[in-house]
Amino acid sequence: MPKLQITRIGPVETPLPAYQSHGAAGLDLYAALQAPRTLHPGQRLLVPTGYAVALPEGHEGQVRPRSGLALHHGITVLNTPGTVDADYRGEIGVVLVNLGQEDFVVEPNMRIAQLVVA
């Protein structure tokens, strides 16, 4: 796995992106929110992660949905996969959309997506 340089950004401290198991393909990304946000059916929300990632040259980051959120709640990443270029140094944001039938609450520090380095 390529080595990543991770920099915290913003006022909310979230867990650092991490692989949750030895065989995991993606690092979990967390919601850097100060308070819960409600995502109504059909609504989009840009969720900050609280960090920037420096990817090695020749690599990209792919922001992908979490399958459990999609299956159980209809929550997915709108621009799947969202691309993080190797030279991008700003905060990673995740565009979530609620394709479900009910409101969904995005909680602070909730795992909202995965970052796959390719």
pLDDT digits (tens, 9 = 90+) for 42-84: 999 999 999 999 999 999 999 999 999 999 999 999 999 999 9
DSSP state for residue 81 in the 8-state scheme: S
Quick one: residue 100, left, alpha or beta (phi over 0 = left, psi -120 to 50 = alpha)?
beta
Average pLDDT, integer, range 3-32: 90
Locate the domains of the chain by residue range: 5-117
What pTM was computed for the model?
Answer: 0.91
Of 32, 33, 97, 29, which is closest to residue 62 (Cα–Cα)? 29
pLDDT at 1: 66
pLDDT at 88: 94
What dotted CATH number matches 5-117?
Answer: 2.70.40.10
pLDDT at 42: 98
> What residues have CB less than 8 Å from 21, skipping those under 6 apart?
none
